[in-house]
Structure 1
Amino acid sequence: MNDYGVTGATTGVEVLIKLPVHEVWSGITAIERYGEWSPECIYGAWLEKDVRFEARNRFPDGFETYVTCTVTVSEEQKRFGWDVYGDESVPFAHWEYELEDRGAATLVRQTFTHGPGVSGMRLGVVQDPDRAAESIQGRLDQLAANMRSTLAAMESAIR
């Protein structure tokens, strides 16, 4: 089956947040608060603290998904990331934050990388392969905009 460039598709943002690194760390690891900040994630809860969590996402068309996530990297006040799983044993996405301490501020680098698993992006591309590149880029642009919105809302809430 042709992958059309979905696996490995990536996007990211770099945002300077005017909060010290320990406060940003508290925000990015507060999975239960993502629903307050994210334009897409409406719910998050730890299943096993610092190991696995569940999340629900709602898309602009009203479609909702439920996923489970496994923390893959957790270096306090430096890096935090997780793999996202649907109904299969391989992840369909990896999200990660890298934090750079700038004293009273923190430089946040957030990335999304599509995995080999089945996702809405993959299904959309398979249904309309002639628009694969356009569909992938559109979703990556949407994710980057969501990252910026989430980080801005997190900064305002913590401040």
Structure 2
Amino acid sequence: MDWTGQVYADIPTVASRVFIDAPPERVWRYVSDIRVMPRLSSELQEVEWLDGATGPGIGHRFTGRSAHPSLGQWETVSTVVEWEAPRRFCWAVGDPAVPTSKWRFTLHGEADGTVLEQWAQMGPAPSGLSVAIEAMPDKEQKIVFVRLREFESGIKANLAAIKDLAEAGS
């Protein structure tokens, strides 16, 4: 696990990476198609482009519908804040200037393949996690740690699934 920060106010992050035996352009097909993520995620259930967008680009927005056993169901609007094909795709959840979280994929060509990293940041804006922290402020560090571990687990599962898809060429 590669994460920093002790508490939510520190805007903690988590990241993981994997080497994929496929060129960046092939990996990019899966990373840049938001419809792939609900197939890979245990939390993200559905996504849909908004405002007539049919794919990512700076400022393009999409809705995400998620569910978690402890947090319930929720819907968010995300905005693409970084887009450089086939290298970087980043979106901010909520207000792009002060998001509840940010998520990013970064691709680097290496040898005969691609190093794919997925990164996530919690905050700085309040989120569903903030309710739990406000109810139990003495347990903030543990609450954040548990959620970061969930993020990490999800990220590793995403990376493994993208690796399988890209290496199979499907």
User: Which bin holds the TM-score, normalised by the shorter protein?
Assistant: 0.7 to 0.9
| Equivalent runs, 1:1-159 vs 2, <5 Å | 5-7=7-9, 8-47=11-50, 48=53, 49-50=55-56, 51-61=60-70, 63-85=72-94, 90-158=98-166, 159=168
Measure the CA separation in 2 of the matches of 1:138 and 1:144: 10
Q: Quote the Cα distance in structure 1 between the aligned partners of 2:70 and 2:143.
A: 16
Code of the residue aligned with 2:110 in structure 1: it is: R
Task: Report if aligned partners of 1:21, 1:103 keep a CA contact under 8 Å in 2.
Answer: no
User: Are the counterparts in 2 of residues 20 and 103 from structure 1 also a CA contact under 8 Å?
Assistant: no
The answer to whether the Cα contact below 8 Å between 1:32 and 1:46 also exists between their aligned partners in 2 is: no
- My pick for the range that moved more, 117-126 or 132-141, is 117-126
CA distance, structure 2, for counterparts of residue 19 and residue 43 of structure 1: 27
How far, CA to CA, are the matches of 1:73 and 1:96 in structure 2?
8
User: Alignment partner of 1:135: what SS?
Assistant: helix
- Given residue 92 of structure 1, which amino acid in structure 2 is its aligned partner? T
SS for the counterpart of 2:74 is strand
Q: What percentage of aligned pairs have identical amino acids?
A: 25
Normalized against structure 2, the TM-score is what? 0.82
2:99 counterpart SS class: coil
The gaps in structure 1 that reach 5 residues or longer are: none
8 Å Cα contact 2:118/2:159 also seen in 1: no
1:30 and 1:144, CA in 2 relative to 1: closer, same or farther beyond 3 A? same
Q: Report how far residue 156 of structure 1 moved.
A: 2.4
